[in-house]
Every structure is written in C-alpha cells, then in structure tokens.
Structure 1
C-alpha cells in the first residue's frame, strides 16, 4: 500500500494516536456520524454500556483525514485495528473522501456493522442522552467523549445537530 489516508469522525479527529504527515478536513458521502454503537470497553462496560460514534448509512459526514506514509502503513493499520476492532463492531472499508482542497483520496474508514449485537439502532435523543450521562469505561466517562467530539467539531466549524441535541439533553436532564 502506498501513502494512504485515515478518516476520523469521532475520537480519531481529536486523538488519532498514530503518526501522520498531513491532516485535512474531509467529507465522506454515503454515511453520517451517529451515536449508534454500544461501548463495552472504552466508554462503558458490558453491564452498563456507553454509546460511541459510528458511521451509519446515508447522508454525509464531515471529519478529518490523516495522511500516513507508506513506510508507516503496517504500524498504523495494526494500531487502528487494535483500537477500533476491540469487539469487531466496525467494518473496515476503503472509501473515497473529499479533501478540503477539492481533491479526493482513498481512506480507511470504520463503518458501523448494523448486524452486530452492539449496534444501537434508532435510539431516541432522550435514551441516548441517558446512556451518555451514566456510562463510563476504561477511557473515561461517556459524556467526556461526546463533549470532546463536539468541541472539536465546533473548532472545525462543523455542526452535528443530532450530537448537539443529545448533549443538550445530557446537560439539562442528567448533569451532575
């Protein structure tokens, strides 16, 4: 594999965890960001799952693309698989992303596997917010994940109304 890109739409945007030589805002068509994955490790437990982001079918998603050099390919792919495939809830795909400069590139993306037991289909804003407010895993409280993602999106000038509605509900109904 030659130089390649990794598309981040959640914590990969603000904590990629791997070496890259370039980063650009990017858009992926055909998928949208959604709190559609029950987290049993990073932001919740099997007994009290949290919710993390996945790419769900339809629409588009604005995020960040990170360029990785050919000599770092195996190390980065191994890292991503260890991080993103803990419970095999994501499908690793190569997809075309539009970069902010108008060019396009092939990028590794992690798409929600809607057949997986941890796929959280069609939760209401209230149900999602209640989970986010109460869950915590090895990476910390679930609400910190949502807050950090929203903060990064705001810095990029990106609105995610669904995530914002969940966050608003967390703050107005379950904040400590």
Structure 2
C-alpha cells in the first residue's frame, strides 16, 4: 500500500489527534492559509459566527505533513472526516506537498469550499478582528483560537503577518 500522509496548516499542526510515525515541515503550492471560514460550531454559532482557518486558492502554505502507519489509515481518515467535515465547508483533497527534506509526497488535506455559505472570503484585518473579538463556540473563544494559532506558527518558525495583525488588533500580545 502507498504511504499515507496528512497535511496540516492550522491546529492540526500542533494538535493532530491521530497517531503518526513521521512529522515533517512542508509546503503546499497553489493554496494559502486563510482566516476565511465562518465557524458555526467550534469558535462561533450560526447567530454569531467566528472565523477559522481554511486552505484557500492562491500562493503557498507552509505546514506540517504527518506520515501515518498503513494500519492507522482508515481510523485516521474517519477521525479527520469527523473533525473537519462537520458542516462540509471543507473538501477533502489529496495534493502534492514539498517536504523540507526534499521529498514530495501526496497528502490528504482539507481545502475550503468557496461555494459553501460558510465561506467568508477575503476581509480586512479590522473586519476579521471585529468578528473574532466577539465569537465563542463549543471549543471556546475565537480570540483564543487565533492567538493560539499565531503563537504556534511562530514557535514553528512560520510567520503569517496578516494573522499577527488580527491578533494585535484584538488586543492579544504577539511575540
């Protein structure tokens, strides 16, 4: 059986929730990390949606690729589908990931569906901060999600200046 890889670009990078045998930084091309999904469950509600990350068209995205043992493939896919496809705002895709060690692998990842009604599209820092500042969902305040994301990205040596500006605007310290 072929190797099974999963690419994470948000909380999956530091909280994968599944067993893996290898973890390597890498880059997806043709997509970028974007705070472009209205969260109705984890970081907001339908009445007061929050914003969470999606992999959206354009640019490239640094993230983490996880190699999963063949014996864990089905359980990992079941887990990811339950976690990522709650409202079907993401589409499961396999795409090439250029690993930092020079290899290129095919990895499963979750790309935002731009035709879904939860797709928020592009917005200014002020617009995003205004949404994030007031939203709370089942997993807690939206502010905590965005600030935690930026902190983890920085720990991993990944800078996202736009997200950092959102965090600064909502009054969270940025390293």
The answer to whether the aligner puts 1:30 opposite 2:2 as a matched pair is no
Q: Equivalent residue of 1:65, what SS? A: strand
Q: Quote the residue 1:68 is aligned against.
A: 68
Shift of 1:56: 0.8
Deviations 1:14-63 (A, max 9, x none): 11111111111111000000000000000001111000000110000001
Q: Quote the residue 2:148 is aligned against.
A: 148
Q: Equivalent residue of 2:171, what SS? A: helix
Counterpart CA distance in 2 for 1:145 and 1:105 is: 29
The answer to whether the aligner puts 1:102 opposite 2:102 as a matched pair is yes
Q: How many residues align?
A: 172
Q: Kindly report structure 1 stretches of 4+ aligned residues shifted beyond 2 Å.
A: none
Q: CA RMSD in A?
A: 1.0
Superposed counterparts of 1:112-151, under 5 Å: 112-151=112-151
Q: Which runs of 5+ in 1 are unaligned?
A: none
* TM-score normalised according to structure 1 size: 0.95
Q: Which runs of 5+ in 2 are unaligned?
A: none
* TM-score normalised according to structure 2 size: 0.95
Counterpart CA distance in 2 for 1:147 and 1:156 is: 14
Counterpart CA distance in 2 for 1:6 and 1:144 is: 25
Q: Is the 8 A contact 1:36 1:119 kept in 2?
A: yes
Q: Is the 8 A contact 1:3 1:73 kept in 2?
A: no
Counterpart CA distance in 2 for 1:147 and 1:95 is: 28
Shift of 1:3: 2.6
Counterpart CA distance in 2 for 1:145 and 1:7 is: 19
Shift of 1:2: 3.1
Q: Quote the residue 2:57 is aligned against.
A: 57
Q: Quote the residue 2:81 is aligned against.
A: 81
Superposed counterparts of 1:149-164, under 5 Å: 149-164=149-164
